Amino acid sequence: MSHPHPELTLPPPLPDSGLRVVALGGLGEVGRNMTVFEYAGRLLVVDCGVLFPEDFQPGVDLILPDFDYIRDRLDRVDAIVLTHGHEDHIGAVPYLLREKPDIPLVGSRLTLALIEAKLQEHRIKPYTLEVAEGGRERLGPFDCEFIAVNHSIPDALAVAIRTPAGLVLHTGDFKMDQLPLDGRITDLRAFARLGEEGVDLFLTDSTNAEVPGFTTPERDITPAIDRVFSTAERRIIVASFASHVHRIQQVLDAAAKHRRKVAFVGRSMVRNMGIARDLGYLKVPEGLVVDPKQLDDIPDNQVVLVCTGSQGEPMAALSRMANRDHQIRVGEGDTVLLASSLIPGNENAVYRVINGLTRWGAKVVHKGNAMVHVSGHASAGELLYCYNIVQPSNVMPVHGEWRMLRANADLAAQTGVAADRIVVAEDGVVVDLVDGRASVVGAVPCGYVYVDGSSVGDVTDASLKDRRILRDEGFISVVVVVDSVTGKLAGGPEVHARGFAESDSVFEAVRPLIEDALAKAASEGIGDTHQLQQLVRRVVGRWVSDTYRRRPMIIPLVVEV
């Protein structure tokens, strides 16, 4: 997949006094966040995340940003700044560091702990620089100031990037919860101070730009979680993101109140909660958390299981429970709590899991029928607030699908930002900040890079199309043997199929058509095996289309003897 702007050419050289901004992911999608800043030949990367595949990408595990734009300039990357520890912001770091392991990683304490644990699995020991809100670091020509923002994971940061070309403020993912569970609010005083200094380019989180008002505080869902615990008859199974420390804290507090034991299930959940507990971000009462192996000795009405799978991921614990493919068997009287919102594109997978769990008798509580989750992103009211405080010269909405980016741009316009100073870009579009004005100057190729098992980038859009055909239409193989001298049919045709018809006997009608076509080709002196294979494919394809209105994959094999 190349950049979606055929009218845009490759960008001209960056002017000496200019700052270049190129998003390699996160624009036009929710995930894969990665933005490259360039000044005076040096590069700064903000975030490096993954996108999770959808139904039309069968077999794909993860989708990475396309590193081609910076691949031959990795020695010029001064640092990778990580705004927070969610997978859509840190998940692709191991794949970038495989290419140059000594690029410094800059982030808060929890963010670095999460990425270090992930890199350990990839056998990469990174060079890290821990920062905190209020801190300021010079990374090459980029003078970076870090600002506390509230999000659905502790220790999230916005970053202000100063260069001689101007001041850029990148919010990362944020909201403005005024009574956060950890007491750490978005530092609007810092936003206002930067506004007074003069923000030349404001990159703002667009995820909830379409949602009016203000995002509900995290505290407001505590009563709903408490109600679930009060009414549950047997086990409670909570599915959440493995990094949502605040939500897990609420579950632990409810479990302690209702005298239930908690077991973490799933590698990423066990790892991340262990890190959060060790660093003091997760407060765990003594004796509350037990090993899953001890659950057999505890009555069902005293058990809480915390696992991954709230997005319907096929290999996550909850999906496997729904499919009866997990040692934990969900049954009558169990309560399953989905403590997350739906990531766009995952709806079908999530409802499939909900239906599967309900089928086995579980009661499933989710955002659709109870207030058990709130978003981690600023709604329209909060974004308006920020625009009025910061009063930026130029705005570039980031992190969101097209409709979200557009809604965010509209909010900026309502607060008085001039239309020609609002840049709505997509992945690969090059934006230059020169003389205080941001404008689109070109685009660079910027496709999806698919991770499939241990292969990275080997799967192409063409091979995914083949997989979809195999999944939806099945395949037909045709084997024929021809005389290498005369070109006449010497054996076959043998026709077999998978995923197309129950019995191969349905192909009796097409065999004479293949024989006639090959006989005609022999009489015309056509003996090239490739041409004969194409001939067989056309004959079978036409017959299948006319007879069954289907388009399976057809694999012809012509053998010369």
Strand partners, 480: 558
Domain boundary (306, 338, 365) is at 365
Nearest CA to 161 out of 102, 81, 65, 76 is that of 81
Same domain? 82 vs 95: yes
Assess whether 232 and 334 both reside in one domain.
Answer: yes
Burial classification of residue 420, based on how many CB atoms lie within 10 Å of its CB (0-12 exposed, 13-18 middle, 19 or more buried): exposed
Residues of the chain scoring pLDDT < 70: 1-6, 54-59, 310-315, 342-346, 453-455, 457-458, 466-467, 470, 487, 502
Question: Which DSSP letter does residue 211 get?
Answer: S
**176 and 273: one domain?**
no
Q: Are 23 and 160 in the same domain?
A: yes
Query: Of the candidates 365, 395, 411, which is a domain's last residue?
Result: 365
In the chain, how many domains are there?
Answer: 3
Q: Does residue 308 form part of some domain?
A: yes
In a shared domain, residues 248 and 338: yes
Q: Please list, in sequence order, all residues whose beta carbon lies within 8 angstroms of the beta carbon of residue 523, skipping any fewer than 6 positions away.
A: none
Give the residue numbers spanning the domain of 380. 19-214+376-456
Pair 197, 70 in one domain: yes
Is 75 contained in some domain?
Answer: yes
H-helix segments, 45-106: 68-71, 87-90, 93-97
Non-local (6+) Cβ contacts of 325 within 8 A are: none
Phi, psi of 187 (to 5 degrees): -80, 85
The alpha carbon dihedral of 175, 179, 183, 186 has a sign of positive
In this structure, are residues 304 and 328 in contact, taking their beta carbons and an 8 Å threshold? no
Q: Write down the pLDDT at residue 318.
A: 81
- Within 8 A by CB and 6+ apart from 193, the residues are none
The closest alpha carbon to 350, from 331, 322, 325, 324, belongs to: 322
Query: Does residue 131 sit in the same domain as residue 200?
Result: yes
User: Residue 5: its pLDDT value, please?
Assistant: 62
Indicate whether 224 and 361 sit together in one domain: yes
Query: Which CATH number covers residue 415?
Result: 3.60.15.10
Check residue 2 and give its pLDDT. Answer: 34
Asked if residue 222 and residue 210 are part of one domain, the reply reads no
Cα–Cα dist 340/239, whole Å:
8
- Using DSSP, state whether 146 is helix, strand or coil: strand
pLDDT of residue 408: 96
Structure tokens at 17: 């006094």
Residues 6+ apart with CB under 8 A from 533: 556, 557, 558
Question: For residue 4, is it within any domain?
Answer: no
Q: Is residue 271 in a domain?
A: yes
Q: Tell me, what CATH number does 524's domain have?
A: 3.10.20.580
Task: Say if residue 399 is in the same domain as residue 489.
Answer: no
* Cα–chain center distance at 175: 20
Q: What is the CATH number of the domain that holds 268?
A: 3.40.50.10710
Among 44, 43, 48, 46, smallest CA distance to 63 is for 48
Q: What is the chain's length?
A: 561
Q: What is the reported pLDDT for 207?
A: 93
CA distance 438 to 28: 19
Write out pLDDT tens, residues 134-162.
Answer: 999 999 999 999 999 999 899 999 999 99
In a domain, 468, yes or no: no
- For residue 166, being part of any structural domain is answered with yes
Q: Please indicate, yes or no, whether residues 326 and 406 belong to a single structural domain of this protein.
A: no
Q: Is residue 252 part of a domain?
A: yes
Predicted confidence at residue 1, as pLDDT, reads 30
Tell me, yes or no, whether 209 and 288 share the same domain: no
Three-class HEC string of 111-137? HHHHHHHHHHHCCCCCCEEECCCCCEE
What pTM, to 2 d.p., does this model score?
Answer: 0.84
What are the residues whose beta carbons fall under 8 Å from the beta carbon of 482, sequence distance 6 or more? Answer: 488, 489, 490, 518, 522, 527, 529, 532, 558, 559, 560, 561
Tell me whether residue 122 is in a domain: yes
Last residue of a domain, one of 406, 429, 456: 456
